Structure 1
Amino acid sequence: MTVHWCGTGLSAIPGLRRLLSERDDVTVWNRTEAKARAAVGDLTEDIRTFDMAALQAVLAEGDVVVSMLPGDHHVPLARLCLESGANFVSSSYISPEMRALDGMATEKGLRLVNEVGLDPGIDHLMAHWLMADYRASNSFSPDNVLSFISYCGGIPKVPNAFRYKFSWSPLGVLKALKSPSVSIRSHSELRVSRPWDALSRYDAPLATPESFEVYPNRDSLPFMQEYGFEPGWTVKDFVRGTLRLIGWAEAWKGVFSEVERLEGKPELDARLAEMAAEFWEKHAYDEGEPDRVVLCVALEALSDGVPVYHKTYAMDAWGDARGSAMARLVSDTVALAVEAVLAREIAPGVSAAPSDPRLVTRWLDRVHTTAQHLMVVDHLA
């Protein structure tokens, strides 16, 4: 069996290097072979120029394809895996097109594993841990009122005036500002067309408590079932969102105005691309400059209005000699998924980060070695 790791961008390197140092069955594919050799050439000679036809020619039954390429490659690569009897891993959200491959993957006994990076990925593991812990506690009752939040953000370790820095193309971040979100707030469904219309403050229980600006991201509601919330439960809040430094909204007012001004107009995409180029020039990380990642996932249960369970899984990580925090957290979790697929520890079909307690514990133990600060805070202790 061979692991075909496709893509050696910045977010891929630490996990790929770990796999290469531990295994001799990894082939590295990248659209620019020279860049891949510069990143991992000291660990392997098996580096090839990425091409679907070339990959198809060598892909064998039982292999694993890892896609760290842009999102539009994921489904074609997954389909190629189904044709060849191979497995697939990516860190990206499961798209409807990927979900549609579940039946065929299950029938063939193949694993198409997604959402195994940072967010989505580590946040799922924390949610599964909290739900299992809550269900096992004396406080558990189907009559409790539950609140769940999950906030994650990549932010500069040393704050700047723009309150943000980019570790890769800013275009994806800017396009996300156009994305609507769905969440539950105060027992009601909250639909928001623009992130800044639902901005709020969050006090994170880090080693040194710190406040952030947060807003809901994407559609949170499908994750209620994913995390084991049952249909009859009363849910006051359920939100998965993005975390930013205090002052971010003020610093980005001009960006928001541009998006609002051009919303629905054909020139919007061109303007976003223009801003992305400008931001990459002005607000990219310098060589060796540390980034920072903060992730907090919390579950609270109320009985007759009184808190009976309230814990937060909190993580604070930053770039160091091992590389950027974002790259470590994303790619190392992907590497863990590759190992789990090879060991057949994940069931066939299309799936996200596992809920199996053994894998959740093992993977979070790995995060303990990657993040500088990771702990469960019991707010009622």
Structure 2
Amino acid sequence: MPTIHWLGAGLSSAPGIRRLAAGNTPLILWNRTASHAAAVVAGLSSPPEIRTLDLDALAAVIRRGDVLVSMLPADMHLQIARLALDNGAHFVSSSYIAPEMLALHDEGQQRGLCLVNEVGLDPGIDHLLAHRLLHQYRPRHRPEHRLRFRSWCGGFPALPNDFRYKFSWSPVGVLRALRAPSRCLQNGRETVVQRPWLGLSRYDAELPAGRESFEAYANRDSLPFIAQYGFDPSWQVEQFVRGTLRLDGWSAAWQPLFEELQSLEGEAGETRLQEIGAELWHNYAYAEGEADRVVLCVELEALEGGQPVWHGGLCMDARGNEKGSAMGRLVSHTVSLAVDSVLAGELATGVSAAPSDPALIDAWFAALSELGDEVHPLPGAQLQT
């Protein structure tokens, strides 16, 4: 029987670890601090084996068909994927597919191994929502349709604070993302924004509990996902944006920080970035038991003659509870479902992202619903025939 090796027991790992530990597949939890890993699985009737993270020790016990789950910092994923390939094991991570990871695709296929990425929340569940909308729209497509696609996701305190944000992962990672340019389609044209706060817009979400207004900005490079989501090259796409939601008032609260980030340069700037990250973690980390909130909205709209003729929208609005933080549940439960699918032979070999198969998407969403996190139609979106 294969073994699941879960590497890293951080803030976004606990619910997925506990779910897999309740299954029938042997699970070993590897973490730098064994005592922290023990706290994550405390109270389980059959807790997994815990080992101190050491890659040499890990390599010595991997067997063909095992699954390595990397919830370590993103710069370690390639090393773990390489370790998996060299030992005949599969690999799963929630992070974006880096070019160096994609370069392993052919080798993974040749060895019959899965290298699965982008199966967390964002990226992950957002991909599943996009694929579901594309499946629903495709039979209704007409050549004259002009398409607008929007995918927004954000995590923030369930009870807003003055800073309009708290950190569930490294503040330095958040700061680096704010210093990176974004690329998307707006009004049929490629749009590049050098700093996210320079391209802020508003997003009015018609959530199940009512309408709510957020600040929103594009992040990373949205354009490769046009093909990944299955948009036909002949389709007329006038808007395609993947981005981040923030609570109303976020940009005003962060303005002094934006100004300092803009000025950082060179080695001194990197040092200051690390200092700012430490300060933010000290001042704005979640308190023990404090509830967070995650809002994810994905919409696809078709227009003809300037008028909407089809509009599909799906959303999640989750809050932290006794089962874990909203962020931790949505990231790690989805990772754990990917592990199940790897072991069941449901995913393609080589490098892949969240699945597009309708039946598998339905199964994953059903499992998430059973775990307490449901996908809802956006009340403002109607699937028109």
Taking structure 1 as the reference length, what is the TM-score of the superposition?
A: 0.96
In the alignment, is residue 19 of structure 1 matched against residue 14 of structure 2? no
> Deviations for 1:240-280, whole angstroms, at most 9, x for unmatched residues?
00000010000000110001122x33322211111111111
Residue 206 to residue 253, structure 1, CA distance change in 2 (3 Å): same
| 1:114 counterpart (92, 110, 117) | 117
> Deviations for 1:78-121, whole angstroms, at most 9, x for unmatched residues?
11111111100000000001000001001111100000000000
The CA deviation at 1:372 is 5.4
Residue 3 to residue 162, structure 1, CA distance change in 2 (3 Å): same
> Deviations for 1:31-87, whole angstroms, at most 9, x for unmatched residues?
111211121154425111111111110111111000011112111111111111110
Match of 2:76 in 1: 73
**Distance in 1 between the 2:373 and 2:221 partners?**
30
Match of 2:173 in 1: 172
**Distance in 1 between the 2:202 and 2:341 partners?**
37
The CA deviation at 1:368 is 2.7
Match of 1:147 in 2: 148
Whether the 8 Å contact between 2:27 and 2:48 is mirrored in structure 1 is no
**Distance in 1 between the 2:239 and 2:83 partners?**
40
Whether the 8 Å contact between 1:183 and 1:221 is mirrored in structure 2 is yes
Residue 24 to residue 231, structure 1, CA distance change in 2 (3 Å): closer
| 2:137 counterpart (123, 134, 151) | 134
Match of 2:356 in 1: 355
**Distance in 2 between the 1:169 and 1:184 partners?**
29
Bigger CA drift: 369-378 or 177-186? 369-378
**Distance in 1 between the 2:179 and 2:72 partners?**
23
Match of 1:266 in 2: 267
Tell me the SS of whatever aligns to 2:13: helix
The CA deviation at 1:23 is 2.4
Match of 1:224 in 2: 226
In the alignment, is residue 61 of structure 1 matched against residue 39 of structure 2? no
Which amino acid is 1:234 matched to? Q
Aligned residues: 378
**Distance in 1 between the 2:249 and 2:56 partners?**
48
In the alignment, is residue 33 of structure 1 matched against residue 38 of structure 2? no
Bigger CA drift: 59-68 or 22-31? 22-31
**Distance in 1 between the 2:173 and 2:4 partners?**
28
Unmatched 5+ residue regions in structure 1? none
Whether the 8 Å contact between 1:316 and 1:371 is mirrored in structure 2 is no
**Distance in 2 between the 1:344 and 1:361 partners?**
17
In the alignment, is residue 99 of structure 1 matched against residue 102 of structure 2? yes
Counterparts in 2 of 1:221-260, with a 5 A limit?
221-260=223-262
Whether the 8 Å contact between 1:317 and 1:371 is mirrored in structure 2 is no
In the alignment, is residue 332 of structure 1 matched against residue 333 of structure 2? yes
Which amino acid is 1:54 matched to? A
The CA deviation at 1:24 is 4.3
Which amino acid is 2:22 matched to? S
The CA deviation at 1:148 is 0.3
Q: What root-mean-square deviation, in Å, do the aligned CA atoms of Structure 1 and Structure 2 show?
A: 1.3
Whether the 8 Å contact between 1:205 and 1:314 is mirrored in structure 2 is no
The CA deviation at 1:362 is 1.1
Match of 2:204 in 1: 203
Which amino acid is 2:228 matched to? E
Taking structure 2 as the reference length, what is the TM-score of the superposition?
A: 0.95
Whether the 8 Å contact between 1:325 and 1:371 is mirrored in structure 2 is no
> Deviations for 1:170-210, whole angstroms, at most 9, x for unmatched residues?
11111111111100001000001100111000001102110
Match of 1:5 in 2: 6
